[in-house]
Every structure is written in structure tokens, then in C-alpha cells.
A and B are shown apart, each in its own frame.
Chain A
């Protein structure tokens, strides 16, 4: 029982990051119908840039945190401006997939050039005794990861439902043409969706690095798992990605704990292929016909 609880908590921790990446996938998908395969790289940017500002330059925690998010946002902005915007008008799907792959390799290359192949880490946000809950030992950083993820989700919820810009983004995800006719600046919305998805990915990276370390090539697997989280809940649904991410995290840690640790990464892949082949609307999604998309 204690062991099970322990596994569930470690699953929730990694699941938080998957959820954040999954939400990023959804935000970009909703405004552009693109699946941004560079999504996982933002998590790596978050972890490594935080190390650079916090440990490398010895800046105060909050300053480093803000600067890291700014860098990630800037990368998202540049990606949209330089690669997505010039190509999206062509309406060529193969091209859009490949350009996001190209950007992910570019980011990975830059990170490897700057940081090399070593894993990086920094001290947890708060130092202190781990909390014992029903016999399971939970480190304070675990609570930080889960807490920050929940705060992110809450902020996004408020943003999409209470602010004018957020509602405009929501409108774009329902019907881009209608949104444009209502006077919404769609190209700005696309830009904003890339920035937001980059920033929340980076938040996940900042929070998880003290627990699981960060290295330049973690992005590809994180993209796959975040995508898995997103389609578990049905692509395009914000809440679906949260449930999907946490479920995937827990399943992974149970597999690693009870079956075989080498199979941890296979869980996401099998779930993903299973859903893609059998239930493209997602496990938790209603089996309605998928919303029509440009692609």
C-alpha cells in the first residue's frame, strides 16, 4: 500500500510535466492545426536555462525564473515568426510536420553547443524534511512540481475564460474564419499560442529538473509523451491533456515499479499507438467524430 502510494506520487510528478507539454500541444493545435513536435524542447530549455541563470550566473531565484520564462517565450516567438508564419499559408501538411522537427533539432543543437552532453541539476526550491504521508515519503520538490502545475492550469483556465485575449484564442479554436470575421487578429493569436505553449513547457522543465535532471536530448521523448497525454484526452481539449498527463505518469511509474523499469518508456508508445489505431478521439474523449480540421 505504502509502495503503491509512493509510485502514485512519483507518477504524478512526471505526469505533471507530461500534462504541461500536452496542454502546449493543444494550445498550438487549436490555433493552427499543427502538432508542434518541438514542444518537448521547451521543457529542456526551461531546465537548462534555469541552471544557466541560477547556478551559472548565480542570479536570485525569482530573477532566474523570470528570465528563463522570457527566453522560452522568445524562442517560441522566433519559431512562429521565422518558420511557421512563412510556411503556414502553403497549407502543406508534410512541410509543417517537417519544419517543427527541424526546429526541434535546431534547438537541441543549440543546447548541445552551449551545455554539452552532461545532465544538469540545481538544488530544490525549498530545503527541508520530506513529508511522510501514510508511510509514503514525499519530497518537498514533488509538491512544488504538482503545485506549480496546478497553478499553471488555474492561470490558463482564467486566461481562456475571463480575459478578452483568451476568449479570442478560444474562438479561433472553434472556427478560425468566423473569428477573423469578428475582427480577431488571427496571426497574433497564432503567435501568442506559440509563446504560451513555450512558456508553460519551460515552467515544467524548471520545476522537474531538481528531481529528474535535465540534458540536451530529453526533448524528443518528452514530445512523444506530451503528445500521448494530449491524445489520451482527445486532441484539442485542455482538460483532457491534464487527465491524460497524470494518468500516463502514474501508469509509467507503476510499470517501472511492478513490471520492469526498462518498459517505462514503452507505456506511452503503446498507449499512443493503441489510441491512434483504434480510438482517435481519445480514451476519455467522447467517441464523436473528430472536429473537422484544415489538415
Chain B
């Protein structure tokens, strides 16, 4: 990992550590937990879009598989929560292989619609055959580590964000490794990278699986945090929200996913008084981000910061 990345992660971890000590408000902590969960999904999509140049509008599908499989295994089959979370992630990854192999032969628009179709199929299955159907089911056990069960928002906050930080460290290492460089090469030119001996298809599939891994992990955490699941949390709209997080935060920087998750998650909270407005505001933000801040807010802020330093 590069030095400045390590430093940012260190400072960021300190911020995460002290945040709950300053703001003892459960409401803020809850939002913090949701930001962390969404950030996990968004980081996966950032790598897929920014580094492999592939699009997915079906992340809600993997997120849903992670949540439902883990909840069902722990609730109906009595498996320990951590084991069922792990199995849920494995299931999602296996599903992602079957989607990735045919889908990544497709380009651009076709890939977008194929992943969208996959997400909608998962949503339909949850609606038809998920426990409780469209109204969902509850009483999902909470996360427990070595016999200690998480109950307070503090514990969940620290748990989620430690995972986000681990994922960030892992992802930064990945990007700076040979694999990451190969990915960048693919994004630049597929033909050129194939001629220098990069196995494009294999790499793309790997990144697709990685994004499914992150999304399903987030889903599993979500299930055991809210302890109630219904299909509506896993609709197309969630996939579009994740896409929005990545676009708004910035596609070319891993922090983009985290910042995007922060902005998009707190938005509905800020708009609480104007219930009918949220979809419109999402639309305006996404359109403006695409038209004017094409690189996303993180690179924009970084650039501004560098310019400010030079003055």
C-alpha cells in the first residue's frame, strides 16, 4: 500500500474511533451504520466500474442474496450467525460466477441491462418465495462473536466500520498490485492488454465476484442488524442508489464509494420533511453529477485541495 493511502486510512480509522465517543446519539449512530453498509456495496462497484470499466445495475441482487440466505440459515436452520453470513457470501459468489461468465462477454449497454435483469429476478424470487413474501419476515438473530451478542448501536457501528476499513486496506492493496495495474490496462484498451498477455476475461470475472462478495457481505450485516427483511429493500432502486453513490463520490478513487455512500445515505434524512421530493432530488443530483462533476466529488475536492496547497 502506498504511504499516503496508509496515512488516510489511519486518520480515517481514528475518526471512526472517536465519532461515537463525541456523538452519543443513537439516531446518528444508526445512520452511521447504514453508511458503512452502503459503503461496502459501493466500494465493490467502484472497483468494478472505475478499475475494470464494467457496469452493474444489479448489485441489489447480491446484496439481497447475502441478506436472505444468511437470515434464513441462521433463523430456520439454527446455524451460528457468523457461519451463516459466511455461507451466504459463498452462495452469492457462486451465483456471481454464473452471471459473470456469460455477462462479461457482453459489452456496455447489454451488460447494464443483463445485470439489471439479474437484480430484478432476485427481487421477484424474494417476493414470491422469500419467507413472508412481499411483507417479509423478522426475528433474525443478531450478530454474535465468540458467544458475545451485539445489542447496542455502538457495537454494530464499530463492527461495520472495522469491516469497511479492512475492505479498504484490502482493496487498496489489490489496486496497487499487479492485478490492479492489469485492470487499469484493461480499462485503457482491451486489445492492447490482451496482446501483452493479460487474461482479460479471467480478471473481469474475478472483479465481478469481488463486487458480489462485498455486496453480499453488506447484505448479511444488514440482515443481522435490522433483524427484519422485506424484498422492498432489494429492488432496482437500491441498485440505482449504489450506482449513484459511485458516480457522486467519484469513479476513479476508492474513497469515492465511501463519500458517495455518505452523501446518498444522509440525503433522505435531510429531506425528511419533504417526503414527495426525495426521488426528484436523487434525479437532480445524479444528472448534475454526470453533466458537470463527471469525475465525482472526491477527485474534485482533492484537486481543489492541491491547488490550495500550491498557493
**A contact residues vs B (CB 8 Å cutoff):** 34-35, 37, 82-83, 86-87, 93-95, 97-99, 101-103, 105-110, 112-113, 116, 220-221, 224, 227, 260, 262-263, 265-266, 269-270, 272-273, 276-278, 280, 295
Contacts and interface: CB of A to CB of B under 8 A. Distances in A.
Contacts of A107: 283
A99 B117 contact: no
Nearest to A82: B291
Interface centre among A35, A105, A220, A265 (most CB of B within 10 A): A105
Nearest to B110: A276
B280 A112 contact: yes
A120 B122 CA distance: 29
A97 B108 contact: yes
A98 B283 contact: no
Query: In terms of DSSP, what is the predominant structure of the interface of chain B?
Result: helix
Contacts of A87: 290-291
Contacts of A263: 124, 128
A74 to B, nearest CB: 17
Given A220-B236, A224-B120, A270-B121, A105 B282 contact: yes
Nearest to A93: B108
Contacts of B240: 101, 105
Contact of A272 (B55, B117, B291): B117
A175 to B, nearest CB: 20
A273 B118 contact: yes
A107 B284 CA distance: 10
A214 to B, nearest CB: 16
Given A83-B291, A220-B236, A108 B283 contact: yes
A281 B301 CA distance: 44
Contacts of A37: 112-113
18 contacts: A34-B109, A83-B290, A94-B49, A99-B287, A105-B282, A106-B287, A108-B283, A109-B282, A110-B283, A112-B276, A265-B124, A276-B110, A276-B113, A276-B114, A276-B117, A277-B103, A277-B106, A277-B114
Nearest to B239: A101
A276 B107 CA distance: 10
Place the interface of chain B in its size category.
35 or more
Contacts of A35: 109, 112-113
B17 interface: no
A272 B109 CA distance: 13
A113 B280 contact: yes
Contact of B279 (A83, A108, A260, A266): A108
Contact of A266 (B121, B278, B290): B121
A269 B121 contact: yes
Nearest to A35: B109
B291 A86 contact: yes
Given A262-B127, A263-B128, A109 B283 contact: yes
A149 B124 CA distance: 29
B78 interface: no
B184 to A, nearest CB: 15
Given A94-B108, A101-B286, A265 B120 contact: yes
Nearest to A112: B279
Nearest to A221: B120
Given A35-B109, A106-B280, A110-B280, A269 B53 contact: no
Contact of B55 (A97, A227, A273): A97
A139 B121 CA distance: 32
A86 B292 CA distance: 10
B287 to A, nearest CB: 4
